[in-house]
């Protein structure tokens, strides 16, 4: 019996690299174009799960499984934006400086028959207290662009993080433990 085919519903190169760590090569990439605006008073956990589910459903395929994910940086009940400009990235870093925050990484796997499997990874992260010079230096790197919460843990920001409790890969964008469990439950051959 042939292994199931997988579509990755993400244009993120980080998610492609992470799924490759499990020995999975997607048959194709199908970035889901959905409205990612949080609903009024939507909690971060529910928002992450809804985004992963909607991305998977938007890329549904009658002959392949669709894997989708979403990563949310939350400070309390507040969902931090993806930083598209330096002012937003600065606001996020100033808010996170010296504080603990939560990174929620949801994964959804949609089977061709419409069966939906979902998992959620919750990771606690704390930045050191950041000086204005450290924030300026990080902003100058540009790696914050398009990143939830204005930082990329897999880059220079890792040197500013005092501790992490949970899934490093989840903070990068795809929690591998949870993703592996979903894929195995759907019959993907993973060692």
Specify whether 136 is catalytic: no
When pLDDT is averaged across residues 59-78 and rounded to a whole number, the result is: 96
Separation of alpha carbons 46 and 37, rounded Å: 13
Q: What is the pLDDT of residue 3?
A: 67
* pLDDT of the residue at 31: 87
Q: pLDDT at residue 184 above 80?
A: yes
Percent of the chain whose predicted confidence (pLDDT) is above 70: 98
Q: Could you identify the residue written with the tokens 């419409």?
A: 114
The reported pLDDT for the residue numbered 32 is 83
Q: Which domains are delineated in the chain?
A: 6-185 (3.90.950.10)
User: DSSP readout, 78-141?
Assistant: EEPPB--SHHHHHHHHHHHTT-EEEEEEEEEEE-TTS-EEEEEEEEEEEEPPPPHHHHHHHHHH
Per annotation, catalytic residue among 70, 85, 113, 136: 70
**Percentage above 90 pLDDT, the chain:** 92
pLDDT of residue 11: 85
pLDDT confidence band for 33 (50 / 70 / 90): confident
Q: How far is CA 2 from CA 5, 20, 187, in A?
A: 9, 19, 10
Assigned token pair, 32: 């889901």
CB 103 within 8 A of CB 72: yes
H/E segment holding residue 54: helix 44-58
């Amino acid at each position: 019996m042939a292994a199931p085919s997988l579509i990755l519903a993400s244009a993120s190169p980080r998610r492609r690299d992470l799924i490759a760590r499990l020995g999975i090569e997607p048959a194709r990439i199908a970035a889901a174009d959905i409205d990612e605006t949080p609903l009024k008073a939507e909690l971060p956990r529910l928002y992450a799960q809804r985004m992963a589910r909607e991305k998977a459903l938007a890329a549904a395929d009658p002959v392949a499984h669709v894997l989708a994910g979403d990563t949310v940086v939350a400070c309390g009940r507040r969902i931090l934006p993806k930083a598209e400009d330096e002012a937003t990235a600065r606001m996020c870093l100033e808010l996170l400086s010296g504080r603990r925050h939560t990174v929620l990484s949801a994964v959804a796997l949609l089977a061709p028959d419409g069966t939906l499997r979902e998992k959620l990874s919750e990771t606690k992260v704390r930045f050191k207290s950041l000086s204005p010079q450290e924030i300026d230096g990080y902003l100058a790197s540009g790696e914050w662009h398009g990143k939830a919460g204005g930082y990329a843990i897999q880059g220079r920001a890792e040197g500013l993080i005092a501790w992490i409790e949970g899934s490093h890969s989840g903070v990068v964008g795809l929690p591998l433990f949870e993703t592996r469990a979903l894929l195995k439950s759907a019959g993907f051959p993973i060692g």
